[in-house]
Structure formats: C-alpha cells, structure tokens
Amino acid sequence: MSHLAVIALGSNLGERRAHLQQACAQLRALALEGTWQQSSIYQTAPVLCPDGSPDFYNAVVSFQFEGSATQLHAQTRGIEQALGRERSTINAPRTIDIDLLAFGQEIIDEPDLQIPHPRLHQRRFVLQPLAEIHPDLLLPGLSNSISRQLQALHSPEPELMRMDGTW
C-alpha cells in the first residue's frame, strides 16, 4: 500500500540550490512513477537559528511512497548524511534539512519521528510552498486545509521570496 509522503527541504550552507536538487533527485527515485510534485524554491530568513545564520532556500515535495513512514524517515536521514548534514547544535546552519511533514493520514508520535510534523502549521516557510502543491490537503489533527492554515497564520516570519529559475 502506498501513502502520500509530504516532505520539506531546506538548505542554508554552500550551494543551496544544488543541495536541494541533489536531495530531490534521491527522493524522486523513491517515488512511485507519476506521483512526484514539487513546489517552487523560496528564500527565507532563518527562524530560531543562531545569530548570523544565512538565509535558507526552502521547498516542499510530495509523492506516493510504497513502504512505511519509518522506512522513508531512514531514507531521508541517509540522504542528509550523504549530502554532508552535520547535527551539531539545534537549528545550526546546514547543507540540507529534510523533514517528513506528513505520511498519508498516519499519526506517529515517537521520539525521533512525529507525523504530522508538530510545527508545520506554524511555519510560513513550510505552509506557503505546501499550499502551492496541495492547497486543499487536510492533515490529521488539523481542522483546516493547508491554504486556510496559511491564510490564518499569525507569524513573525517575514514574507517569503520565490526564487526565479527552474530546479
């Protein structure tokens, strides 16, 4: 049985666009054929990061995945490691960040994996690209669609800047 996997990507070190492209190429290889969707890339100010952290490039992708959320989470951690992700301090600058936001209608609350992602409805840098590809998506535990969550968002985050160009 396949599930809709919704994943947020971010990079604020080095060749940010290249890191996103490399992560997407590896994730796309996990997708069932014909199910891949990706948002535009957005440049965003760092949120709750150490002073002096560079801006992020963020995007959201989705696809049907044949397997479990735990299996996909292990795959995303492997991609992060392959692309040089170091986990030093919380919210430190990073080459790539891959967060599993949702996995079908599953609810998972484990120490290393929470689905839906517990803060996705509070983050413009997640909601805006997600609304671009799934505006009507309703996630378990949320009473509004993604587009309505974005409209109702009260966040100190600055507006996002959509990046020109293609992936």
What the block records as the tokens of 33 is: 């054929």
Instruction: Give the active site residue among 51, 87, 99, 112.
Output: 99
Contact 124, 102 (CB under 8 A): no
CA 157: distance to chain centroid?
17
pLDDT in tens, 12-25: 999 999 999 999 99
Residue 102: Cβ within 10 Å count: 26
The domain segmentation of the chain, as residue ranges, is 2-162
Rounded to two decimals, the pTM is: 0.93
Please tell me the CATH code under which domain 2-162 is placed. 3.30.70.560
Active site residue 85: yes
Comparing 72-76, 120-124, 140-144, 163-167, which segment has the lowest mean pLDDT?
Answer: 163-167
**Mean pLDDT, residues 93-108 taken together:** 93
Active site residue 55: no
Residue among 31, 18, 19 at smallest CA distance from 61 = 31
pLDDT in tens, 37-89: 999 999 988 877 778 888 999 999 999 999 999 999 999 999 999 988 777 66
Residue with tokens 């409209």: 151
Active site residue 87: no
For residue 98, the one-letter residue type is: I
Q: How confident is the model at residue 166 (pLDDT cuts 50, 70, 90)?
A: low
What's residue 167's pLDDT? 65
What's residue 25's pLDDT? 97
Active site residue 97: yes
Instruction: Give the active site residue among 16, 51, 97, 148.
Output: 97
Contact 95, 55 (CB under 8 A): no
What's residue 89's pLDDT? 66
- Give yes or no for residue 130 having a pLDDT over 80: yes
How far, CA to CA in Å, does 70 sit from each of 92, 95, 128?
A: 25, 23, 26
Residues 6+ apart with CB under 8 A from 11: 17, 19, 20, 56, 57, 94, 95, 96, 97
What's residue 90's pLDDT? 67
Instruction: Give the active site residue among 85, 112, 136, 164.
Output: 85
Instruction: Give the active site residue among 16, 94, 123, 124.
Output: 94
Q: How confident is the model at residue 142 (pLDDT cuts 50, 70, 90)?
A: confident
